[in-house]
């Protein structure tokens, strides 16, 4: 594999995170967006918390009017389906067993992190009632654009927020309607427009595909184009979605994206897009650049997952990729940018 | 029921439409968008055509590189699922048994129509490979904006086109990613923005809901807001979607939308939205204003359906609603605008 794991892995575990609510248990600190500011490396973690349980019931959290309330359903009710540990299905509605918020972890060297004691962004709006997840951060003209998945019974939407100081976060609205995940905004324009990856759901083709959208202002999006489909039999044969925001290189926009194979093993690979028209795919990894092998990747809440939402481009020309491992912890790995491009035939 | 059916119903049947391809059968002429131009009433029909069948196989049409080709699958293959007459499921892909194009029917009085011999808009792009369906037409500043559902294995998207002369149709792109149907653009701005209804799909809440989006330019859309949900037990308890573009009244934006009850009976009712902020619902019909009762509504390809995509506002203050009946033919019905508003408590 081209990417070499950090010796410090895992970089953040659930033990490093103070629960945001009394009695709740932190079950995941993963899938972080990444940014740099004033010499500090910021990981905006997804922190998943599970409420206290009562014998004979399944308890689940719902944000209502700004507060998280715990509801419960009797396990003896045959209409309560808890076979998937992540969700509860009940009478046509899907609830989550945990609720996620976003919280900063900070580092001077990009390898040793300290997690903030308080959440940075919490579920607040009705369309966030089941939590906010999987942020990506894109720096454009001095402002950090943060998008995340907002989960509610009305569906999975993408919310865009903007900050300059990491204290005030403007709401720019729901930018993609349900269901849509794995959104990442490009760190610059092409052809006079902003661009973003997104992954809408379809009941038609069934295999989720990665689309591109363009925008004049980052708030309103159109020009939707289907960009990448899963490749049955390959490392990205079952499911794909963007990873971190793409890297602008002379050879094109380089995106490191996740793919799952038919055994639900999530790896990371690369795709290169034309610099002036990112709807044109130049090259795509035949083999993954990072696949789950380390114990913290193969075992956890959902084992066999490397899922990156952010990276750093270092002064020495290496890419430091930060990724959620097994839907539980954060890890890091490095590869030379030139090596990634060479693997794509550039 | 407030709406009174035209004595001329049905206004257009499949017998009135010349097939666009040799050997194909027209099985539906329905769900038309409506416009007025130079004293002529235009219905932009959805024309559904089924290819010739061969014993022992199911044949289905696919647009490929601008031409419609007929493919077939053996009915003896257990992987071929044809239980729903509208679709074929095969190895994770859903195909349609018919392919739709859009074709104009013209009238001087709005009741007696002549159908063009040739299609007006055909599936052309890859994301239209299974056809184009259910157009809505909105007149803004002298240009007619036509949106329709484009069906492909990559999902159901919404395409926006623009014409002034009904000869040249600019492509404004895919404005809503998959899956999304039942889109209608408002005929004017509110709060400095354009608005549209849309109905995205979600695997979460399951019941499809009607959302609003806003746009500065009609091409790029954001500010997605969940507006209307089905009301279990009522006439719109199972499924809802916008109908024709809303009517601007002094009391607010009046939309006539379709709802299906738990028995899949599709009726039309009204919703009134605040004039300056259409995200605010003022009133909603407790009872349908038009429900399937006539034989051409209760019997057909999919019986028990009144589904309107367009209307005319007449000089005498009446609304002429044009609707697809039983997914097969077009019909019309009239009601006084004041009566519709009164039914909503205005």
Residue A8 confidence (pLDDT): 98
Residue A18 confidence (pLDDT): 98
What value, to the nearest 5°, has the Cα angle with vertex B41 and ends B40 and B44?
A: 125
Domain boundaries, chain B: 4-51+98-343
Residue A195 confidence (pLDDT): 98
> Is the C-alpha dihedral spanning B100, B101, B102, B103 positive or negative?
negative
Residue B1 confidence (pLDDT): 86
Distance from CA of A300 to the nearest CA of B (A): 25
Give the pLDDT band (50/70/90) at residue B205.
low
Buried b (16+ CB within 10 A) or exposed e, B290-301: bbbeeebbeebb
Residue A92 confidence (pLDDT): 80
* Residue B206 scores a pLDDT above 70: no
In Å, the largest CA–CA distance within chain B is 60
* Residue B305 scores a pLDDT above 70: yes
Contact B217 A216 (CB under 8 A): yes
Give the pLDDT band (50/70/90) at residue B301.
confident
* Residue B204 scores a pLDDT above 90: no
Measured distance between the N- and C-terminal CA atoms of chain A, rounded to whole angstroms: 18
Cα B51 from Cα B24, distance rounded (Å): 5
Domain A4-51+98-343: give its CATH code. Answer: 2.115.10.20
Provide the phi-psi class of A52: left if phi over 0, else alpha when psi is between -120 and 50, else beta.
Answer: beta
Contact B157 A224 (CB under 8 A): yes
pLDDT in tens, B119-138: 999 999 999 999 999 999 99
Residue A260 confidence (pLDDT): 97
The counts of H helices and E strands in chain A are: 2, 26
Cis link prior to A51 (omega < 30° from 0)? no
The three-state secondary structure class of B344 is coil
pTM over 0.90: yes
A217 shares contact with chain B (CB less than 8 Å): yes
Cα A197 from Cα A201, distance rounded (Å): 13
A91 to chain B: which residues are within 8 Å by CB? none
pLDDT in tens, A227-270: 999 999 999 999 999 999 999 999 999 999 999 999 999 999 99
HSE (side-chain half, CA atoms, 13 Å) at A117: 0
Q: What is the DSSP string of B149-191?
A: EEEETTEEEEEEEEESSSS--EEEEEEEPSSEEEEEE-SS-BT
Contact A242, A228 (CB under 8 A): no
Contact B64, B125 (CB under 8 A): no
Residue spans of chain A under pLDDT 50 = none
pLDDT in tens, B59-75: 999 999 999 999 999 99
The three-state secondary structure class of B108 is coil
Residue A68 confidence (pLDDT): 97
Please identify which residue in the block is written with the tokens 């053996």.
B74
Residue of A177, A194, A227 to mutate, interface with B, max B Cβ within 10 Å: A177
Residue A207 confidence (pLDDT): 80
The closest of B61, B90, B93, B87 to B77, measured between CA atoms, is B90
B217 to chain A: which residues are within 8 Å by CB? 216, 220
Cα A213 from Cα A334, distance rounded (Å): 29
Q: Is A241 exposed, middle or buried (0-12, 13-18, 19+ CB in 10 A)?
A: buried
A207 to chain B: which residues are within 8 Å by CB? 92
Comparing CB atoms, the residue among A175, A206, A211 nearest residue B222 is A175
Cα A3 from Cα B288, distance rounded (Å): 61
Kindly report the backbone phi and psi dihedral angles of residue A192, in degrees, each rounded to the nearest multiple of 5, phi listed first.
80, 10
- Averaged pLDDT, B191-220: 92
Cα dist. A86→A13, A33, A206, B17, B258 in Å? 19, 22, 21, 52, 35
Contact B299, B21 (CB under 8 A): no
Residue B202 confidence (pLDDT): 79
Give the pLDDT band (50/70/90) at residue B201.
confident
pLDDT in tens, B250-267: 999 999 999 999 999 999
């Amino acid at each position: 594999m081209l990417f070499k794991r950090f010796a410090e892995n895992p970089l953040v575990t659930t033990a490093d995170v103070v629960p945001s609510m009394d009695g709740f248990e932190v079950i995941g600190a993963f899938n972080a967006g990444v940014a740099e500011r004033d010499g500090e490396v910021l990981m905006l973690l997804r922190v998943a918390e599970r409420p206290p349980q009562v014998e004979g019931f399944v308890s689940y959290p719902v944000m209502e009017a700004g507060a998280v309330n715990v509801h419960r359903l009797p396990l003896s009710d045959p209409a309560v389906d808890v076979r998937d540990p992540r969700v509860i299905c009940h009478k046509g509605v899907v609830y989550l067993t945990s609720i996620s918020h976003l919280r900063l972890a900070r580092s001077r060297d990009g390898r040793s992190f300290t997690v903030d004691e308080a959440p940075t962004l919490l579920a607040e709006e009705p369309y966030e009632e089941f939590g906010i997840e999987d942020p990506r951060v894109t720096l454009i003209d001095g402002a950090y654009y943060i998008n995340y998945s907002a989960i509610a019974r009305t569906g999975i939407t993408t919310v865009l927020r903007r900050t300059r100081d990491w204290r005030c976060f403007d709401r720019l609205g729901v930018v993609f309607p349900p269901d849509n995940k794995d959104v990442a905004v490009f760190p610059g324009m092409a052809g006079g427009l902003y661009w973003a990856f997104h992954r809408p759901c379809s009941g038609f083709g069934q295999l989720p595909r990665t689309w591109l959208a363009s925008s004049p202002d980052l708030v309103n999006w159109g020009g939707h184009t289907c960009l990448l489909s899963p490749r049955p039999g390959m490392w990205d044969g079952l499911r794909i979605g963007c990873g971190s925001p793409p890297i602008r290189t002379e050879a094109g926009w380089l995106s490191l994206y996740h793919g799952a194979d038919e055994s639900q093993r999530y790896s990371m690979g690369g795709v290169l897009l034309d610099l002036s028209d990112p709807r044109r795919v130049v090259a795509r990894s035949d083999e993954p650049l990072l696949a789950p092998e380390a114990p913290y990747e193969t075992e956890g809440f959902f084992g066999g997952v490397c899922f990156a939402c952010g990276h750093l481009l270092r002064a020495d020309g290496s890419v430091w990729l930060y990724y959620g491992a097994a839907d539980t912890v954060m890890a890091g790995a490095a590869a030379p940018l030139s090596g990634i491009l060479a693997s794509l035939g550039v």
